[in-house]
Amino acid sequence: MKGRSWAVAIAVTASLILAGCSGIPQSGAPRIGQPVPGAEDPEVQFIADGPQAGASQEEILRGFIDAASSPREDYATAREFLAPKIRSTWEPDLNVIVDEAAQRSYVSADETSMNLTVAPVAEVNAEGEYTEFSTRTPLTQGYSFIKVKDEWRISVAPDRVILDSQRFNDVFGSYALTFFDPSWSYLIPDLRWFPSRTSTGTRIVNALLDGPSPLLAGAVATAFPEGTTLTKGAVPVVGDVAQVDLSSEVLEADDLTFQRIRAQIAGSLAGVSAINSVSVTVNNNTEDLPALTLQSPRADPRALVLSKDGFGFLSGGDALERLPGLSDQVEALRPDVVVVNAEHSAAAARTADGVFSIRASASEPLLVDARSGLIAPSFDTFGYVWSVPASAPASLVVSGLDGSQTPVQTSWPEASSIQSLAVSRDGTRVLALVRVGDDPRLLVAGIQRDAENMPVALGDPQVLAVGTSSAVTTTWVDDLTVATLTTAADGSTEIVKQVIGGQSELLQGPAGAESLVAGSGLRQLRAVTSGGNLTALRTSAWQVVGTGIVLIATQLGSPN
C-alpha cells in the first residue's frame, strides 16, 4: 500500500466546534420568520397515510403533499402516490418549498392534470442551503395523473417537497458544516438544512466534501484533498458511532492535515442526535492521532466602555479595569467608536478627524484614514483596520500596521450609501448595512484574501433580514448570528436577530438605544442609550447595567 494508513475514533465534543462582484441580490431583504430549532431538538418522524381506494385526483395530490412530510425510508409513503414510471426517479431532496398551508390552492387544469399554487415562505436547495423570501409571490406547479389498476396516481410531479412552516421545523434540522479560516485557527460554520433520517450523516459528509456554500467560497479553507470521496458511498451509524471511510486521496496527507480533516468531520456531524462519536478511516486503514485543540474567538463577558472615568472593562458595579497601553491613547482621542482586537493589544477608533489605529506598543495613535464622513471602522483578526465613507460604499479600504491603505473590491455596486460595517471575529465574513436608494439592505459577504491574508475583495453577498423599521446599526452576536438595531417612527426600537443560512425573528429593543454591540451570544447583547445608560438583554427584558457611558467598544475576542 502506498503512503501511510491511519484512522481515528473520537468523541464529538464541544472542544472541536465553535462555541464558532456580481452585485446585491435583487430579491430584497427576507421576511422576519421564526427562530431556528436547536440542534438538540429531538428528531420527529411523521407516520403518513398511503393512498386510499377510490381517491380523486385532488385527494391523491393532497395525500402526496402530506405524505412528503415523512422522509422515512427515502419518502417511501409519498412514493406510493406516484405512478410506477416515476416512483423511483422522483427526487425530493432537490428542493424544498416552505409555505403557508392555509393558502394552498388546488385547481383542475384538465381531465388528467391539476395545478397547485402555494405562497412560499422559504426554500432549501439540493445542498441544504436555506433562503427566506421577502415577498409571498405565488408559485404554481403542475401535476399529471394516470390510472393504475383503476386508481389515480401521479404521473408527473416536480422534484421537490412542500412543507408548511411548522412541519418544516419538525422534519428538518439545521446542521453546521465546518471549514477552517485562512489561518487554520478556527472552525467556521456553514449552516445547512436536511431532513432527519438515517441518511442525514451521509448527506452532511457529502456536502462537506463538496465544499463551502457560495457565501464562504474563497473565504474559508478545507483540509480535504481534491477528489476525496466516501469509499462506501454512505456514512453508516453503528450504535451511536458514525463510520466515515475516505478514499485514497487522503493517504498522502500529513498528520496535521489528517487532524484537520477529522476536526471538520466531527464538527459537522456534531448536530446529529443519533451520533455520539465518529470513526474516521482511509480505505479501512487505521492509525491513532491526537485530536486538535481548537478554540472559538470568544469575547470577554465584561462590557468594554469609555465612560466619564476612562476606558476599560466594567468590573463590579462602576469599577473600571483599564487596558495597559490602550486606555491612555483611547482617552486622549475621545472617540465615538472603538474596536479592540482579541489580544487587547490594538484598537481602531473614530473621531471627527478620521479613523485611527491604536497599538499598545506605540506611543500615540496613527491616523490611517482622514476622509470625511467615515462610518464606524472595523478590525479583523490579521490586524487590518477597515474604513469607508457613508456616501461612498464602494470606497472601502483596509489599513495595515504602517498606515498604508489598500482598496477592497466590494460586491454591492448598486448601493448608494453604507451605515454599518462589521468583520466577523474569525475574519472570514463582513456584515454591511447599506442602502439602495431608500431601500435598506443587510448583507453578509465572504472576505477574499491574498497569500499574505490581506483583504482584496468581497464575495457575492447574501441578503439578510433587516425588518420594517429604520435600521441603525448591526453587529455580530456569534459565529452564525447577527443582530440589527432598528427604530420606528414613534421612537421605539426592535432588534432583528438573523441566523446566517437560517431563520430570523424580532426581539424587543431598549428604549432610546443609539448603538448595539454583542459579546459572545445573546446574553452579552448590549446597547447604549441617548442618556448614556448601558443596557443589557436579560432573558426577554433590557436592564440598565451602567451609567455615564460614552460608548461601548466592540471586542474581537479575548486573550484568555
Rounded (10°) CA dihedral 507, 511, 512, 515: -30
pTM of the model as a whole: 0.88
| Beta-carbon contacts of residue 195 (< 8 Å; ≥ 6 apart) | 71, 93, 171, 172, 173
Mean pLDDT, to the nearest integer, of 440-460? 96
The C-alpha cell that represents 271 in the structure block: 448536530
The C-alpha cell that represents 489 in the structure block: 417612527
- Residue 16's pLDDT band (boundaries 50, 70, 90)? very low
* pLDDT for residue 72 is more than 70: yes
Beta strands in 374-454 (DSSP E): 378-379, 385-387, 397-399, 405-407, 417-423, 429-436, 439-449
**Spatial separation of the C-alpha atoms in residues 444 and 177, rounded to whole Å:** 18
The answer to whether 308 and 320 have CB atoms below 8 angstroms apart is no
The C-alpha cell that represents 7 in the structure block: 484512522
- Residue 305's pLDDT band (boundaries 50, 70, 90)? very high
DSSP for residue 177? E
Classify 109 as helix, strand or coil: strand
| Beta-carbon contacts of residue 480 (< 8 Å; ≥ 6 apart) | 20, 176, 189, 191, 499, 500, 501, 502
* pLDDT for residue 202 is more than 90: yes
| Beta-carbon contacts of residue 201 (< 8 Å; ≥ 6 apart) | 235, 237, 242, 269, 272, 274, 275
Q: What confidence tens digit (pLDDT) does each residue in 247-260 have?
A: 999 998 999 999 99
For residue 106, the cross-strand partners are: 116
The answer to whether 528 and 513 have CB atoms below 8 angstroms apart is yes
pLDDT of residue 286: 75
* pLDDT for residue 45 is more than 70: no
**Spatial separation of the C-alpha atoms in residues 214 and 232, rounded to whole Å:** 27
Complete DSSP assignment for 502-515: S-EEEEEPPTTEEE
* pLDDT for residue 19 is more than 60: no
Burial class (CB in 10 A: 0-12, 13-18, 19+), 254: exposed
Mean pLDDT, to the nearest integer, of 359-367? 95
The residue assigned the cell 409513503 is 77
Mean pLDDT, to the nearest integer, of 439-456? 96
The answer to whether 460 and 432 have CB atoms below 8 angstroms apart is no
Ranked by mean pLDDT, the top range of 209-213, 288-292, 519-523, 540-544 is 209-213
The answer to whether 331 and 340 have CB atoms below 8 angstroms apart is no
Mean pLDDT, to the nearest integer, of 39-64? 80
Q: Which element (helix H / strand E) includes 334?
A: none
The C-alpha cell that represents 27 in the structure block: 430579491
pLDDT of residue 560: 72
CA count, 13 A, side-chain hemisphere, 328: 8
Kindly list the structural domains of the chain, giving each domain's residue range(s) and its CATH number in brackets, ordered by start. Answer: 1-296 (no CATH), 304-555 (2.130.10.10)
Q: What confidence tens digit (pLDDT) does each residue in 390-414 have?
A: 999 999 999 998 899 999 999 999 9
* pLDDT for residue 12 is more than 60: no
The answer to whether 324 and 362 have CB atoms below 8 angstroms apart is no
- Backbone phi and psi for residue 264, each to the nearest 5 degrees, phi listed first: -65, -45
The C-alpha cell that represents 220 in the structure block: 474559508
pLDDT of residue 124: 96
* pLDDT for residue 204 is more than 70: yes
Mean pLDDT, to the nearest integer, of 406-427? 97
Assign residue 11 a region (left: φ > 0; alpha: ψ between -120 and 50; beta: otherwise).
beta
| Beta-carbon contacts of residue 293 (< 8 Å; ≥ 6 apart) | 15
CA count, 13 A, side-chain hemisphere, 281: 13
For residue 504, the cross-strand partners are: 498
CA 366 to chain centre: 34
% of the chain beyond a pLDDT of 90: 77
pLDDT of residue 317: 67
The answer to whether 99 and 166 have CB atoms below 8 angstroms apart is no
Mean pLDDT, to the nearest integer, of 110-114? 97
Instruction: Kindly report the average pLDDT of the chain as a whole number.
Output: 89
